[in-house]
Chain A
Amino acid sequence: MQYNWNWGVLLQEPYLGWLISGVGWTIAVASAAWVIAFTLGSVVGVARTLPNRWARGVATAYVELLRNVPLLVQLFIWYFVVPELLPDDWGRWVKRDLPLPEYTTAVIGLGFYTASRVAEQVRSGIESISRGQSMAGYASGLTTLQLYRYVLLPVAFRVIVPPLTSEFLTIFKNSSLALTIGVLELTAQSRQITEYTFQGFEAFTAATVMYVVITLTVTAGMSLVERRARIPGFIAKGG
């Protein structure tokens, strides 16, 4: 195989700029989607453990639906189908005036999908706590809201830091699917550099290195969180 290595291409403009902008969009998509995933996922996960049957039913339906449809299909649905289903006014607004339509759609699609996975982690975290803890909280007069806020969630979230870390990493990797609806994130930019320069090895090596750097940073950050949140003398049951 004859291949002309040229690492220098990565440092030339406009390609360097493209790479940097790609990293920026990857981080922007993943972080905004994570905010949605974490918030909505926590609400849905909590709802799955509530005494109220309706809350549980709706939350379960959400998780089963979102978790079992491929993410790529969901992105296409958000991008191509949802605007058609909206009331006319809204649909027109989405198609014409929505700021950064590709980006916004990718964030919503990825966020809602990942929320279903976060919800499952939150639920399992809450369920790992013995029923006696809830009994003790209720017995002292706490309301359900207070029980979750002060007793169950602080422990549940500590227990699920490791699985949440892995969901957070997955959201960065899944953000590459945003290229299919036109977001020029890291993977899309690498492909574009390849098309302009025929230096695919260099471009995708750069992308790989960037993803690894992001992953290592997130992992380090989360293990810091884990250490800061560690409870003295506490051993979680059942892991």
Chain B
Amino acid sequence: MIEIRDIDKWYGTTQVLRACSTSVAKGEVVVVCGPSGSGKSTLIKCVNGLEPFQNGEITVDGVPVGDRGTNLSKLRARIGMVFQNFELYPHMTVTANICLAQEKVLGRSKAEAEAKAAGLLSRVGLSEHARKHPGQLSGGQQQRVAIARALAMDPIAMLFDEPTSALDPEMINEVLEVMVELAQEGMTMMVVTHEMGFARKVADRVVFMDKGEIVEDAEKDAFFGTPRSDRAQQFLSKILHHI
């Protein structure tokens, strides 16, 4: 589904991604972790073309992301993305947030979009908040709306960039539960997160990044059982002991 081959990326003269290669098969859940500044966000944003890259190739469902001829808007509409800071549109109600791209990008009717929104809101347990504005919701609730907004587009894959890092601890689980459910339903997911509990539970593979490189790309059990690199071992012992 997602193929990433030999990606190099520079910001000006600093290289932030070095020959990164990995893939996410249909229905697979891949967790990406690594220290701050290692390039996780950058890599995941390359997947839907939010960040341009200089070398290498990324294809999603066979469509080359970096190609000039690719209709990025069309491709992005098929890939859901969830951000660390939710990024709901503050001036719109929850329902309007979920309907905007359905109507403007997919061309669905208002009624169709609202029906879809209502279904997804009930699924993430937020039906009674449909008419509120994002500023009136807690962080956990906002992130669940953001997930519903992405799902409303019927995506073929979902990208998550640290979806729980901006949340108070007591709200992390309500978001993770929604994500676990998605994973168990067979959604293709690429998830940047430090929630190793989530990784243990639903990940198929874990990708570990450091200084712009993919240092380790292993089956979940292999990664947690015997991480091969020192850097991954150090990282794991730090965050696991921290918890």
Q: What residues make up the interface of A, taking CB atoms closer than 8 Å to B?
A: 130, 132-133, 135-136, 138-143, 146, 150-151, 154-155, 158, 231-235
Answer whether residue B104 sits at the interface, using C-beta atoms and an 8 A cutoff.
yes
Closest A residue by C-beta to B49 = A138
Assess the B133–A142 pair: CB atoms within 8 A: no
Assess the B90–A234 pair: CB atoms within 8 A: yes
Assess the B73–A233 pair: CB atoms within 8 A: no
Determine the distance from Cα of A203 to Cα of B84 in the docked complex, in whole angstroms: 63
- CB B182 to nearest CB in A, in angstroms, measures 17
Q: Which of B77, B83, B101, B135 lies in contact with A231, CB distance below 8 A?
A: B135
Contacts of B73 in A (CB 8 A): 141-143
Determine the distance from Cα of A130 to Cα of B166 in the docked complex, in whole angstroms: 15
Q: Which of A141, A233, A235 lies in contact with B101, CB distance below 8 A?
A: A141
Starting from the known contacts A233-B135, A234-B135, 9 additional A-B residue pairs (CB-CB under 8 Å) come to A135-B50, A136-B83, A136-B88, A138-B76, A139-B81, A140-B105, A140-B150, A232-B135, A235-B135
Most buried by B among A141, A143, A231: A141
Closest A residue by C-beta to B90 = A234
Determine the distance from Cα of A232 to Cα of B57 in the docked complex, in whole angstroms: 44
A-contact bits for B40-65, CB 8 A (1 contact / 0 none) = 00000100101000000000000000
Assess the A142–B91 pair: CB atoms within 8 A: no
Size class of the B contact interface (CB-based, 8 Å): 20 to 34
In the complex, how many residue pairs between chain A and chain B have their CB atoms under 8 Å apart? 80
Assess the B89–A135 pair: CB atoms within 8 A: no
Contacts of A232 in B (CB 8 A): 132-133, 135-136
Assess the A133–B89 pair: CB atoms within 8 A: yes
Assess the B133–A139 pair: CB atoms within 8 A: no
Contacts of A155 in B (CB 8 A): 89-91
Contacts of B83 in A (CB 8 A): 132, 135-136
A-contact bits for B97-138, CB 8 A (1 contact / 0 none) = 000110011100000000000000000000000001111110
Q: Which of B77, B87, B104, B153 lies in contact with A136, CB distance below 8 A?
A: B87
Assess the A141–B74 pair: CB atoms within 8 A: yes
Closest A residue by C-beta to B85 = A132
Assess the A132–B87 pair: CB atoms within 8 A: yes
